[in-house]
Amino acid sequence: MRTRMALGTAAAAIVLAAGLSGCTSMADSGSDMSTSEPTAMSTMESSAMMKSGTFMGLNDKMVSGTVTVEDGKLTLSGFSSDEGPDLHVYLTNGTDEAAVTAGMMIDKVAFDQADQTFMLSGVDLSKYTDVVIHCDKAKAVFGAAALS
């Protein structure tokens, strides 16, 4: 009886610890990431590497400009996009709707502002291959840039 109770208590403690370790503070991240899963800090954080890419339009939409991710910042340069009611920038692994759903929303993006910078606190860039411009309201990918 005592062995079962001890095992049950130990199992409950492990489940509780695992659940708490997945929690992150949205106030610490500087952006609303409610649609993405928390990511663990690693030695390959955004401040430790630089990636960049050039946007291309997708799904009959126009997106142009470049993206650079370095020193904990995602920077859009020479950026323009077709207008959308609810455009956001995401870090993803692919350019389809499923990749956006599984990716990390960074912030809202202005379709007509050429230069924009977004903070990336504790983001592990090694986990992402693309930056996607997505209209959340229409659930449509407007364009993407492959990071290299």
CA distance 68 to 55: 11
Q: What are phi and psi of 8, to 5 degrees?
A: -65, -40
* Model confidence pLDDT, tens digit, residues 116-142: 999 998 889 999 999 999 999 999 999
In this predicted structure, the answer to whether residue 19 has a pLDDT above a threshold of 70 is no
How crowded is residue 31: how many other Cβ atoms within 10 Å of its Cβ? 19
- Please, where are the H alpha helices in the chain? 2-21, 26-29, 97-102
In this predicted structure, the answer to whether residue 59 has a pLDDT above a threshold of 60 is yes
**pTM for this one?**
0.69
Cβ(67)–Cβ(117) under 8 Å? no
